[in-house]
Structure 1
């Protein structure tokens, strides 16, 4: 009886952990990245503000660091007239569909110690992740129509 209980407990602990796919993704995302480009599916030139922080011009060529062992990171904006002070965040990768490789990516801005004033975050889709490239997508509504914003990263 005792062995059966231990076996059930062990299976329960293993099943509650993160999937192998998510663990592998955290290994790949670890390190320094640059956000090369921000594009959208909108027709024409629209002003895009990302993460309630700054315009896409400030985000392009920004540098990002991901530390998956404690799910934290930071980014520094780039560009003329952009505040280049480091911004901090916590992130979570959750698997949506192992077959398609799509992930739900949650990014929550924090202070340097990982604390959030509002506890608000941003839900993005991690649509592509390799050893050298990564893409996030976010769908927003503009004038009643969905617009997809693509954020394309390269690993440094």
Structure 2
């Protein structure tokens, strides 16, 4: 009887720690290819914005992204004049932070082609909006003690 109780408790704890239905649905929606159409910010003025410690916002605008949720990997391709062009790899995780509001955190970690991080640094973004055709990421930074909000708007191109 003790073994049965222990087994039931173990199964219950595994089930309770599993991925939520909302996150599973989000992974199905994010699967495919996207284009990063625009990068905007909430402050008036000209700012030198570098995303993912990689390139300027101008280089990221128009970049192509591919998400493969069954192994939480993906790639993005930067093209453009005055940009370090080429394909980059990343791993990602979607975490539901508040089931009541439907807010998510999107964790993205740049990697090499073997999906290994060279510096173990990642980026936490808010997955503010996700539909079958559009996705929005929001990153809030602290600049001189004030919030600086960067918004990245994507459009899905291929499922």
Q: How far apart are residue 42 of structure 1 and its match?
A: 1.1
Please say if residues 48 and 56 of structure 1, whose CA atoms lie closer than 8 Å, have aligned partners that are also in contact. yes
Q: Provide the residue aligned with 1:111 in structure 2.
A: 112
Trace 1:2-151 onto structure 2 (pairs within 5 A): 2-151=3-152
Cα offset, 1:32, TM superposition:
0.4
Q: Indicate the RMSD between aligned Cα atoms, in angstroms.
A: 1.2
Distance 1:146 1:51 in 2: 18
- Displacement of 1:94 in angstroms is 0.7
Cα distance in structure 2, aligned partners of 1:144 and 1:3: 55
Partner Cα separation in structure 1 for residue 131 and residue 42 of structure 2: 23
Deviations 1:85-120 (A, max 9, x none): 100011111110112111111100100000111101
CA deviation profile, 1:8-47 (whole Å, cap 9, x unmatched): 2221221121111111111111110000000000111212
Q: Partner of 1:9: helix, strand, or coil?
A: helix
Q: Are the equivalent residues in 1 in contact too, given 2:124–2:139 (CA < 8 A)?
A: yes
1:3 Cα offset (Å): 3.8
Cα deviation for residue 61 of structure 1 reads 0.7
SS of equivalent residue, structure 1 residue 96 = strand
92-101 vs 139-148, which moves further? 139-148
**Structure 1 residue 78 displacement after superposition:** 2.5
Conserved in 2, the CA contact under 8 Å of 1:60 and 1:78?
no
CA distance in 1, matches of 2:87, 2:7: 47
What is the SS of the residue equivalent to 1:25?
A: helix
Q: Unpaired runs of 5+ in structure 1?
A: none
TM-score by length of structure 2 reads 0.93
SS at 2:71's partner residue? coil
Give the Cα separation in 1 of the matches to 2:102 and 2:63.
26
Gaps of 5+ in 2: none
